[in-house]
Amino acid sequence: MRSPLLLGAALTLFAECWLFRGVTAQNFTDEQLVVVQNQLAAGASHSWEYGTRAEALLELTAPSYSVFYPSPLPPPQTIPPSVNLTAVLDIARTTVANRSASNGNITGPQPLIADAAAGDPCSIGVAVLLANWTGQGASDGLDYAGAARDQLEFIMSRVPQTSDGAISHRVAELQLWSDSVYMVPPFLAYYGVVTGNQTLLLEAYTQISLYRNYLRDKKSNLWKHVLFGSGQDLGHWATGNGWAAAGMLRVLATMQRSQWSNEMYNLQSDLAAWIGEIHGGMYSYLNTNGLFYNWVDQPDSFYDASSAALLASTVYRLSQLWNVHTHIPIAEQVRRALAANSSDTVDVKTYPPWPATPTASPSSGATSSPTSTSSATFTSSPSSSSETPSSTPASTSASPSSTPATNPMQNLLHFTSDGWLTPVVNPDSWGVEGAQSPEGQAFVLDLQAAWSDWVQAGAPGANSARVGAAASRVVMAVAGVVLGFGLLY
């Protein structure tokens, strides 16, 4: 072991393992995802939670029936045996079957579930449209098309609007919420492709465009949360920005896979740009732990993991749909941070180099600490050195090893032991931290689905991350060799 090169290599490997241990955190396992899904199913109790759950289940468990699937819309009317839509169709069935009870036996225009929110019940609309499209009424006798039509007419004609036509998120008063972009336009767009009505696709775009005009702050590109009416929230609510980006993506995908894709190209292009605006605004405020503050630019609010999950999902989707990969390295970091276990050190700013890091100086404690620990391996590695200095460090880092088959949520940094994402904003009271967020559970599924579709598409844009990682490896290799010389001579 007289070679400084060997020693350098050993040191480099160790330093790499040490530096990157914060990001070796795996992929969510299937067992973990099942727990997340079960808690979502158990916890969802509001209209938007049913709708958001239906969307997450589509994307993760029946992707060929999600708008992100790369084939023309609408999907096959006959559900292939390989596709299980049961859980999604159950949401539509329960909602429509209970409609007269929840709405007091009224007829004509009405929401799918009577609710103080005008926008939220529309989120269940896509599941109801799918139930109609796949002919569920023939076996269960429910009028899905009628329920969808009533919901459409209600949102278009029975709800307050701004003078230029932005539809209120609330029934009783005119109020625009960033949340609404996820609830309403994707329903309008999907209604359009299923019924062959281009006007509705255009309406989806128009609503988004109007909402952006009202809610976006031009300086930061962050969206306000609630404008007009009683109890406004002019703050930049993290989840609200996520809702807006995610809703725009679903409309973009729906347009792109529709029969009018070519003639509506410029509208898609706008949507992609507007999603990118939000990414740029939001990620300049990401914290080193991979989370946003509840109001992103207010450090005196609390950390929220649900918005981090939702927004990261939109990064993979934008990459997949529009070949914009700018924020892929950041999304990868966030994803790893959310899947980290409690012994991982998470500092999303140490790897890989980010395209832009406007906030918080890249204070790298990373450069100083590895050297202090490296002396420890320095003593152990020489013995095994000659051929494979890799064996020792490798075994410490990657461990898909056999942890006793107990609770799959054990030791996760961002989940309680019973599988709830944490920390999260209270979904029923956006100013305070909550304990259990059904929408947060759905966002974890959205993230997994978006990431896994992106991986299947060949992980476009991952190169930018790899280039950064490769560069830092070269730096470390050189440093390792220099250090090797220093220690030997």
Ligand X SMILES: *[C@@H]1O[C@H](CO)[C@@H](O)[C@H](O)[C@H]1NC(C)=O
Q: Which is nearer to ligand X, 386 or 390 (CB)?
A: 390
**Min separation Cβ 405 and ligand X, Å:** 12
Rounded to whole angstroms, the Cα distance separating 394 from 17 reads: 7
Residues in the chain, total: 489
Structure tokens at 439: 């929408």
**Min separation Cβ 99 and ligand X, Å:** 8
Rounded to whole angstroms, the Cα distance separating 458 from 325 reads: 13
Query: Which residues of the chain form contacts with ligand X (CB under 6 A)?
Result: 21, 24-25, 27, 29-30, 84, 86-87, 94, 98, 100-102, 104-105, 129, 132-133, 145, 148-149, 152, 156, 194-195, 197, 199-200, 341, 343-344, 399, 403, 411
The residue type found at 124 is I
Beta strands in 113-251 (DSSP E): 176-177, 226-227
Q: How many alpha carbons lie under 13 Å from residue 393 in its C-beta half-sphere?
A: 25
Q: Which is nearer to ligand X, 203 or 297 (CB)?
A: 203
Q: Which is nearer to ligand X, 95 or 241 (CB)?
A: 95
Structure tokens at 347: 């500092």
Rounded to whole angstroms, the Cα distance separating 411 from 324 reads: 34
**Min separation Cβ 478 and ligand X, Å:** 26
Q: Which is nearer to ligand X, 29 or 373 (CB)?
A: 29
**Min separation Cβ 219 and ligand X, Å:** 36
In the bound complex, which residue of the shown chain has the CB atom lying closest to ligand X? 27
Q: Which is nearer to ligand X, 132 or 239 (CB)?
A: 132
Number of C-beta neighbours around residue 489 at 10 A: 6
**Min separation Cβ 393 and ligand X, Å:** 12
Structure tokens at 255: 């347009």
Number of C-beta neighbours around residue 109 at 10 A: 16
- The residue assigned the tokens 């941070």 is 337
Dihedral-angle region of residue 264 (phi above 0 means left; psi in -120 to 50 means alpha; beta otherwise): alpha
Q: Which is nearer to ligand X, 301 or 441 (CB)?
A: 441
Q: How many alpha carbons lie under 13 Å from residue 284 in its C-beta half-sphere?
A: 13
Q: Which is nearer to ligand X, 167 or 244 (CB)?
A: 167
- Whether the bond between 393 and the residue before it is cis, its omega within 30 degrees of 0, is no
**Min separation Cβ 448 and ligand X, Å:** 8
Please give the DSSP secondary-structure letter assigned to residue 68: T
Q: Which is nearer to ligand X, 101 or 361 (CB)?
A: 101
Q: Which of 101, 195, 99 is nearest to 150 (CA)?
A: 99
**Min separation Cβ 153 and ligand X, Å:** 7
The DSSP bridge pattern shows strands 424-425 and 433-434 to be antiparallel
| Cβ atoms of 130 and 148 closer than 8 Å | no
Q: How many alpha carbons lie under 13 Å from residue 12 in its C-beta half-sphere?
A: 20
**Min separation Cβ 326 and ligand X, Å:** 22
**Min separation Cβ 299 and ligand X, Å:** 28
Q: Which is nearer to ligand X, 86 or 386 (CB)?
A: 86
Radius of gyration (Cα) for the chain, nearest Å? 25
Rounded to whole angstroms, the Cα distance separating 132 from 375 reads: 66
**Residues whose CB falls within 8 Å of the CB of residue 187, separated by 6 or more in sequence, listed in order:** 122, 123, 125, 126, 129, 151, 152, 155
Q: Which is nearer to ligand X, 239 or 319 (CB)?
A: 319
Estimate the crossing angle of helix 462-488 against helix 369-384, to 10 degrees. 70
**Min separation Cβ 24 and ligand X, Å:** 4
**Min separation Cβ 266 and ligand X, Å:** 21
Q: Which is nearer to ligand X, 235 or 419 (CB)?
A: 419
